[in-house]
């Protein structure tokens, strides 16, 4: 069953972001802040959106040596976000360090998930350019298992892989899936995509939706359509 729809606020300024969020009168959708907005506005944009009452997925995809990731996560934990992520390719040790850095003195922490393979990556690119001599499915499942071993809450994966991830890592292991488009929409630059309704059927826990909402003629109606199709 779908838990929530996360809107990807892929804007490059606070002004543009708040103009968009102001359209949602009486609603506080779960939002994703990615690299573009965070690098443009810094941590203050996170604080301001949080103060408005939104849940936040801070999508910075940390990938570095374990000690650097641990220290960075200590900083991000203080922003009171609800979800953060790392690249699973950074190894189990890096993911364990991320948890250590993210966990506050009282034992609480944001949800931590790992990116398996980006939804813009297909098997041919993965094998020929990244030189991973396995199938895409094998690689995603192996990365998901590593994330589970490290103690993470779940993974970012294609909605097409969500059901299999649950089969490998258990139903409580969270799947957060971008690559969502309406049936009558444009696929854009993503390869492994599906609709909100289909994502629900095949086991996505959260869907991340950007352009189909942010670039819609009526973003609120598009968001409500997503919620209806995914959560019901």
List residues with catalytic annotation.
61
DSSP string, 111-125: EEEEE-S-TT--HHH
Reduced to 3 states (helix: H, G, I; strand: E, B; else coil), residue 62 is strand
- Residues 92 and 216: their CA atoms lie apart, in Å, by 39
Name all contacts of 122-126 with Cβ < 8 Å and 24+ positions apart. 122/191, 122/192
Output the six-digit token pair for 62: 């940390």
Tokens linked to 8: 């990807």
User: What Rg value do the Cα atoms of the chain yield, rounded?
Assistant: 17
* Cβ atoms 158, 192 nearer than 8 A: yes
State the number of CA atoms in the 13 A half-sphere of 123 facing the CB. 7
Of 8, 2, 3, 1, nearest in space to 213 by CA? 8
Interatomic CA distance for residues 125 and 139, integer angstroms: 13
Pick from 23, 17, 32: which is nearest to 207 by CA? Answer: 32
């Amino acid at each position: 069953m779908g838990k929530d729809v996360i809107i990807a606020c892929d804007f490059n300024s606070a002004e543009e972001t708040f103009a968009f969020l102001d359209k949602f009168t009486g609603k506080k959708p779960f939002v994703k802040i990615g690299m573009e907005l965070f690098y443009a506005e810094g941590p203050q944009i996170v604080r301001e959106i949080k103060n408005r009452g939104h849940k936040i997925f801070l999508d910075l995809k940390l990938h570095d040596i374990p000690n650097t990731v641990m220290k960075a996560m200590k900083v991000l934990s203080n922003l009171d976000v609800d979800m953060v992520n790392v690249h699973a390719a950074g190894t189990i040790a890096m993911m364990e360090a991320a948890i250590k850095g993210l966990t506050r003195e009282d034992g609480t922490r944001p949800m931590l998930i790992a990116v398996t393979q980006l939804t813009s990556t297909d098997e041919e690119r993965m094998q020929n350019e990244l030189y991973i001599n396995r199938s895409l499915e094998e690689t995603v499942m192996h990365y998901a298992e590593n994330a589970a071993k490290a103690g993470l809450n779940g993974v970012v994966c294609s909605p097409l892989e969500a059901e299999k991830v649950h089969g490998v890592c258990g139903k409580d292991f969270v799947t957060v899936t971008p690559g969502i488009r309406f049936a009558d929409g444009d696929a854009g630059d993503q390869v492994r995509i599906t609709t909100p309704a289909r994502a629900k059927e095949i086991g996505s826990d959260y869907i991340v939706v950007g352009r189909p909402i942010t670039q819609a003629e009526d973003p609120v109606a598009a968001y409500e359509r997503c919620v209806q199709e995914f959560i019901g």
